[in-house]
Amino acid sequence: MTETVIDPADPGLPPVEPDAPALVVSDLRVWFDTARGLVRAVDGVDLRVDAGRTLGVVGESGSGKSVLSRAVMNILAPSAVVLPGSRIEIEGHDTATLTKQQARHLWGARIAMVFQDPMTSLTPVLTIGRQLTETLRHHTGVDKAAALARAEELLRWVGIPEPARRLGQYPHNLSGGMRQRVGIALALSCSPRLLIADEPTTALDVTVQHQILNLLGRLQSEEGMAMILITHDLGVVAGRTDDIAVMYAGRVVEQAPTTTLFGEMRHPYTRALVRSIPRIADPSHTRLRTIPGRPPTVIDPPPGCAFAARCPHARPRCLAETPRLDGHHPGNVTPGHRHACFFPVGTPQGEQAFADNLAEGRTAAGLPIDERSVL
Amino acid sequence: MSQMQTDPPAERLVEEAVVAPVGVESEPTPTVRRKRRRRDVGALLGAIWLGLIVLAAIFAAILPLPAPDAIGDRFSLAPFESAAHLLGTDQLGRDQLSRAVYGARVSLSVAIGATLLGLVVGTVGGMLAGYYRKAADTAFEIVTNVLLAFPPLIFLIALVAALRPSITTLAAGLALVAVPTFARIARANTIAFADREFVTAARAMGATDLRILGREVLPNVMLPVMSFALVVAAALVVAEGSLSFLGLGVPPPAPSWGGMIASGREELYDHAHLVLVPGLFFFLTVFSLNRVGDWARGRVGRESSL
Amino acid sequence: MRTARSPLRRLATLLTVLLVVSMAAFLLLELIPGDPLATLLPEGATPEVRAQVEAAYGLDQPLWRRYLEWLGGALQGDLGRSLQSQVPVTDAIFERLPVTVELAGLSLILALLVAIPVGVYSGYRPGGLLDRIATFVCSVTLSIPNFLLGVLLVFVFAVNLRMLPVTGWTPISRSLGGHIQSIILPVITLGAVEAVAFIRLLRNDMVATLQQDYVLSARARGLATARILFGHALRPSSFSLVTVLGVTLGRLIGGTVIVETLFSLPGLGSLVINAISNRDYLMVQGIVLVVAVAYVLINTLVDLSYPLLDPRVRAS
């Protein structure tokens, strides 16, 4: 991408296999000790992102996707408890076993993050240039002049006009879209192998959203880095990701290559999400499709599947047992496509479950349904 | 009764298990130690002390204490050496406990009186300034800045020299010193509330300014103002003590904590209790006011008062 | 926080404040009973002699005229002569001002030196050991009035340990070591209470700032903790602190009375208390004016410093 090549400081990490995945998360549980109880924000998540691939993580507010990203980036609040048994591997290195020196140059350099709200994620009292050079010098040890030069290149690279002038400006002098570009420049300054973008466009205007997403895509392919795109908006991930993981109540309920997910979704929640996207082609006054029921309890949740209370396929088994992502469920035939449901969409078991519920007029969880309830 | 175990047994932490899910389990859940929330013991103790000292001050005459100005025959007696004088006596043989309790009367009445007066005047002024802005605000700014720019201690000293020092004059003087604080809080909160929709709605419905101020703004402003009152009272107790220390408080023979400390200062080496007894009362009272005041402010929430 | 407004308006407000302050002082002193001429007149002075002396000092003029004459003189730097000692008020004040300023300044510096590290670290680890200890110590110190603290410090260090003098002031010119010795206890007495206020303020603001997204973002970039605390979080957290700093300094200039009395320091405080009891109204008037001017100046400086702290304020 740029002329000056700056090598990140060598953190002394053991060498990696060339095709080690950029990120592997295994059985991650992050619980928070709050006044109201133990909040199980992330309750057993398994993920894998290979080098150079893009993973979209989709879920509603409270699904745990932000906590997940913070856990991976090691910036959780002090009240968070990462339960033993959780494992996070970045480029094959177990983050729990890093030395201080190794950790110092991992986050921010090998793996970086772009935040949701550009209005608040840049330090207001430091100039853009200062924030950029600070990160560069911390991770690469170059001198001030080289850092400034590289900072200017970075700004140009992310598409900010007049980059030299911007270096001396403060965040409040820039518009929201430009600030987000600066945030991206900051994250990519040390050429990370993995970028986590946590709702990078939610706080932006629609027109700017498109530009930012395109920018991210371009930068990613230029650098060959892996990316995790976190959002609640399925439309954002539709054309821009290789794989998608759908989260609900702190767990991944379905993970599949993007085309497969949209074409052959298995989990009822995924189907509900996809169906809830309003279509321009629909006639006016079409009722928006919603998911009935209330958001799940993440404080001391009851046993069983978290989505059972809102699922038209819910059977008694769903209230007693928790389906696991790597379990052997019907319809789990394609490698790379996993889901956690006993009665998935598009399988005989699932259709039977729905028929049974229809006959009784309600699901095993007590949700009343009729023919129109096929979400 | 759980069905087929599909999950591996979860690990347990070494610390005590607190969370234990009840009922049907499909998977044993990991356990995490909970942090217990601590009660505010300090505020509770503070409230107890305040209650005690206020009651003692009110009912001082009824309590079985020797008169505070009764000159005795045992001078500078240390505390706990005589049943008749639990906290010892001063250089003139007067009972320290009694003097401390009567001294509380002075300190507390001055401080409470000044706080209330300052609160009322300050709140009214602040509300008017925050509501009407413009001219009222300018006047407010000048008045508060005058009150703040005039060195308070000098003002009090001069005031005391000008008028006979009594509980009333001291309270009035201290009230003036406290007005800017209350006024600023009231004004800041009034500005914040006057912009809200319910005030605009009330005005649209034809409510007079007085009604709006009294029914809509005042209740909202009172809460943060009152939560500051205790902390201000603590500062005023200190101010009154400082004046008595300089000999400018309520004149003898009425005892005052500051005065006791001042006179005990000379004998510090031999009879430290002469300073420590009033000092302890002073400290406990101010400490309690501060602690309970902090608790009250914590309950009301953080407001910007500057 | 103060709003930015035109310098002209600000100046007008300041001058009005100073004017009102001086008028108030004049009035207040007028109320003090007692005869300012008591020390000047010989025993058994006749009414004629008295009238002569009065005229000489302008005391036979009506109040408002006296005030205007004084004001006119003040604008030229002449604050009159002390009734007691005949010394020009201006000279007397500026002879003693350095002591008070040094006392106030050093106390604040001490307070800041203690408060900034403790406040920052407590805000970083709220509920941690340092925070709990600091909170407790602060609560206790805040509840000890400075005169009591001074007395206790004297008791421990001067009387018992005999390390420091009980009272008295040694000017730098005479001996640096002695000067330091004579100033340590007063500075600690004043500074301790201020430090406490600063710590609480800074800590609470730090806690709030550290929850901001940009701090999270800085952590995500892997920056060192110290750098984040002092480079990113401290400045936005110091608004209240700077404001209080200014107010405190202004307050201290006029508020060192107690400590100066306690330690027998030759500053403005002890000067003013003498003047009041002697009804030396010109002296008091002059001191009040000087203190008020200092207060107003300092607060203006504080206002002007906000844009330096936070670039967002500069925009207006």
Q: pLDDT (tens digit, 9 = 90+) per residue, A271-300?
A: 888 888 777 787 888 777 778 777 888 888
- The answer to whether B6 contacts A85, with C-beta atoms less than 8 Å apart, is no
- The answer to whether A85 contacts B27, with C-beta atoms less than 8 Å apart, is no
Phi-psi sector, B66: left (phi>0), alpha (psi -120 to 50), beta: beta
pLDDT at B306: 30
Per residue in A319-373, pLDDT (tens digit) is 898 888 876 777 766 778 888 888 888 888 888 888 888 888 888 888 888 776 6
Nearest to C222 among A107, A122, A124 (CB): A107
Note the residue count of chain B: 306
ipTM score: 0.83
* Amino acid identity at B285: T
CB A176 within 8 A of CB A203: yes
**How confident is residue B36, by pLDDT bands cut at 50, 70 and 90?**
low
* Amino acid identity at B178: A
On chain B, the residues whose CB falls within 8 A of the CB of C147 are 241-242, 245, 258, 261
Per-residue burial over A308-333, b if 16 or more Cβ lie within 10 Å, else e, is: bbbbbbbbebbbbbbbbbebebbbbe
pLDDT at A72: 93
Q: Is the pLDDT of residue A4 over 70?
A: no
**A77 interfacial to chain B (CB closer than 8 Å):** no
pLDDT at A246: 93
- The answer to whether A106 contacts C222, with C-beta atoms less than 8 Å apart, is yes
Strands A80-82 and A23-34: antiparallel
Interface test with B, best of C14, C17, C167, C185 (most B CBs within 10 A): C17
**Two tokens, residue B265:** 């200062």
Q: In terms of pLDDT, which residue wins out, B16 or A301?
A: A301
**How confident is residue C169, by pLDDT bands cut at 50, 70 and 90?**
confident
> What is the average pLDDT value for chain B, to the nearest integer?
77
Question: A239-243, C3-7, C153-157 — which is least confidently predicted?
Answer: C3-7
d(CA C132, CA A321): 45
- The answer to whether C221 contacts A183, with C-beta atoms less than 8 Å apart, is no
Both ends of chain B: CA-CA distance in Å? 61
pLDDT at A12: 60
Per-residue burial over A237-261, b if 16 or more Cβ lie within 10 Å, else e, is: bbebbbbbbbbbbbbbbbbbbbebb
pLDDT at A354: 87
**How confident is residue C116, by pLDDT bands cut at 50, 70 and 90?**
very high
**How confident is residue A99, by pLDDT bands cut at 50, 70 and 90?**
confident
Strand partners, B85: B82
Q: Which helix (H) or strand (E) holds A137?
A: helix A128-140
pLDDT at B89: 79
**How confident is residue B21, by pLDDT bands cut at 50, 70 and 90?**
very low
Distance from CA of A120 to the nearest CA of C (A): 6
Per residue in A223-238, pLDDT (tens digit) is 889 999 999 888 888 8
Question: Is residue B19 classed exposed, middle or buried when 0-12, 13-18 and 19+ CB atoms within 10 A define those classes?
Answer: middle
- The answer to whether A134 contacts C223, with C-beta atoms less than 8 Å apart, is yes
Per residue in B129-145, pLDDT (tens digit) is 888 878 888 888 888 88
Per-residue burial over A342-360, b if 16 or more Cβ lie within 10 Å, else e, is: bbbbebebbeebbeebbee
Q: Is the pLDDT of residue C119 over 70?
A: yes
**How confident is residue B35, by pLDDT bands cut at 50, 70 and 90?**
low
On chain B, the residues whose CB falls within 8 A of the CB of C148 are 241, 261, 275, 279, 282-283
**How confident is residue C12, by pLDDT bands cut at 50, 70 and 90?**
confident
Distance from CA of A218 to the nearest CA of C (A): 22
- Of A220, A223, A222, nearest to A242 by C-alpha is A220
**How confident is residue C41, by pLDDT bands cut at 50, 70 and 90?**
low
What is the 3-state secondary structure of chain B?
CCCCCCCCCCCCCCCCCCCCCCCCCCCCCCCCCCCCCCCCHHHHHHHHHHHHHHHHHHCCCCCCCCCCCCCCCCCCCCCCCECCECCCECCCCCEHHHHHHHHHHHHHHHHHHHHHHHHHHHHHHHHHHHHHCHHHHHHHHHHHHHHHHCCHHHHHHHHHHHCCCCHHHHHHHHHHHHHHHHHHHHHHHHHHHHCCHHHHHHHHCCCCHHHHHHHHHHHHHHHHHHHHHHHHHHHHHHHHHHHHHCCCCCCCCCCCHHHHHHHHHHHCCCCCHHHHHHHHHHHHHHHHHHHHHHHHHHHHCCCCCC
* pLDDT, mean of residues C227-246: 86
Residues of B with CB under 8 A from a CB of C: 42, 138, 141-142, 145-146, 148-155, 157-159, 161-163, 234, 238, 241-242, 245-246, 258, 261, 265, 268-269, 272, 275, 279, 282-284, 286-287, 290-291, 302, 304, 306
Q: Is the pLDDT of residue A110 over 50?
A: yes
pLDDT at B33: 55
Nearest to B32 among A31, A317, A324 (CB): A31
d(CA A331, CA C104): 78
Per residue in C45-68, pLDDT (tens digit) is 677 777 777 777 667 777 787 788
Distance from CA of A342 to the nearest CA of C (A): 38
d(CA B238, CA B223): 24
Quote the percentage of chain A above a pLDDT of 90: 27
Residue with tokens 């060598």: A10
Nearest-CA residue of chain B relative to C257?
A: B153
Q: Is the pLDDT of residue C315 over 70?
A: no
Per residue in C121-146, pLDDT (tens digit) is 998 988 889 888 998 888 888 888 88
CB B280 within 8 A of CB C151: no
- Of B148, A273, B65, A100, nearest to C21 by C-alpha is B148
**How confident is residue B116, by pLDDT bands cut at 50, 70 and 90?**
very high
Interface test with B, best of C131, C142, C159, C251 (most B CBs within 10 A): C142
Nearest-CA residue of chain A relative to B1?
A: A320
Q: Is the pLDDT of residue B241 over 80?
A: yes
Quote the percentage of chain C above a pLDDT of 70: 91
Note the residue count of chain A: 375
Q: In terms of pLDDT, which residue wins out, B199 or A52?
A: A52
d(CA B151, CA B143): 14
On chain A, the residues whose CB falls within 8 A of the CB of B34 are 33, 38
* pLDDT, mean of residues A181-194: 91
On chain B, the residues whose CB falls within 8 A of the CB of A322 are 6-7, 26-27
* pLDDT, mean of residues A40-57: 90
Per-residue burial over B243-277, b if 16 or more Cβ lie within 10 Å, else e, is: bbbbbbbbeeebbbbbbbbbbbbeebeebbbbbbb
- The answer to whether A38 contacts B34, with C-beta atoms less than 8 Å apart, is yes
Residue B118 sits at φ, ψ, to 5 deg, of: -60, -40
Quote the percentage of chain B above a pLDDT of 90: 7
Q: How many CA atoms lie within 13 A of B229 on its CB side?
A: 21
Nearest-CA residue of chain C relative to A171?
A: C312
Q: What DSSP line would sit under C157-206, residue for residue?
A: IIIIS--S-SS----TTT-HHHHHHHHHHHHHHHHHHHHHHHHHHHHHHH
Q: Is the pLDDT of residue B25 over 70?
A: no
Per residue in C257-311, pLDDT (tens digit) is 888 888 888 888 888 888 877 777 778 888 888 888 888 888 888 888 877 777 7
d(CA A340, CA A337): 10
Question: Is residue B302 classed exposed, middle or buried when 0-12, 13-18 and 19+ CB atoms within 10 A define those classes?
Answer: exposed
> What is the average pLDDT value for chain A, to the nearest integer?
86
- The answer to whether C216 contacts A75, with C-beta atoms less than 8 Å apart, is yes
**Two tokens, residue B212:** 């709006």
Angle between helices B273-300 and B257-264 in degrees, nearest 10 = 140
Nearest-CA residue of chain A relative to B21?
A: A300
d(CA B72, CA A362): 91
> What is the average pLDDT value for chain C, to the nearest integer?
81
CATH numbers and ranges of domains, chain A: 52-73+100-241 (3.40.50.300), 270-280+288-373 (no CATH)
Nearest-CA residue of chain A relative to B20?
A: A300
Question: Is residue C9 classed exposed, middle or buried when 0-12, 13-18 and 19+ CB atoms within 10 A define those classes?
Answer: exposed
DSSP-based three-state secondary structure for A346: coil
